[in-house]
């Protein structure tokens, strides 16, 4: 009993360690490191873009708001598009929700399209010009309109 307790709090190593390795293991890396030598190899998974690439979330209702919490908490730059929502009360609820998440995460929130696209940027980051150009080409970034 004492031995199990000491092992559980990390003061003693167990006599044996059974190493379980699943047969289909995959390495998960950021996409900037996700380089395949040929198209047949699929061992690596692309799970997310580098943190300086904007994560774009298009919301169609208030219930979609849960989609923006995780990327903001993880420190990604997030563009939230609410242009498809016609109800002004729902739009205002979403803006209030985004503002709260940005405040709690110590992020900056900017409007980047007058019809309803908001950008949430972590306080220690800025929007790279290449991403601004990408957002402009997608029709999401229009400040002087």
- Give one DSSP letter per residue of 17-41, joined into a string: ------SS--EEE-GGG---SSTT-
Distance CA 60, CA 117 (A): 13
* pLDDT at res. 109: 93
Q: State both tokens at 91.
A: 């739009």
* pLDDT at res. 95: 94
* pLDDT at res. 142: 84
Burial 122-135 (b: 16+ CB within 10 A, else e): beeeebeeebbeeb
Distance CA 72, CA 117 (A): 15
Q: Is the pTM of this model over 0.85?
A: no
Low-confidence ranges of the chain (pLDDT < 70): 8, 10, 16-52, 144-145
Closest CA to 28 of 47, 6, 15: 47
* pLDDT at res. 6: 73
Which numeric CATH code is attached to 55-137? 3.30.110.150
* pLDDT at res. 79: 92
Residues facing 118 on adjacent strands: 80, 111
Q: CATH 3.30.110.150 residue ranges in the chain? A: 55-137
Radius of gyration from C-alpha coordinates of the chain: 22
H/E segment holding residue 101 = helix 88-104
């Amino acid at each position: 009993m004492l031995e199990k307790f000491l092992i559980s709090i990390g003061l003693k190593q167990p006599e044996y360690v059974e190493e379980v390795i699943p047969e289909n293991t995959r390495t998960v890396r950021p996409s900037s490191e996700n380089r395949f030598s040929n198209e047949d190899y699929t061992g690596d998974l692309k799970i997310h873009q580098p943190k300086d690439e904007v994560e774009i979330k298009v919301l169609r209702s208030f219930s979609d708001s849960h989609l923006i919490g995780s990327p903001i908490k993880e420190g990604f730059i997030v563009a939230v598009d609410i242009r498809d929502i016609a109800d002004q009360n729902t739009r205002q609820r979403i803006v209030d929700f985004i503002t709260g998440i940005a405040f709690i995460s110590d992020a900056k929130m900017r409007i980047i399209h007058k019809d309803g696209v908001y950008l949430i940027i972590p306080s220690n980051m800025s929007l790279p010009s290449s991403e601004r150009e990408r957002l402009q080409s997608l029709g999401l970034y229009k400040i002087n309109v």
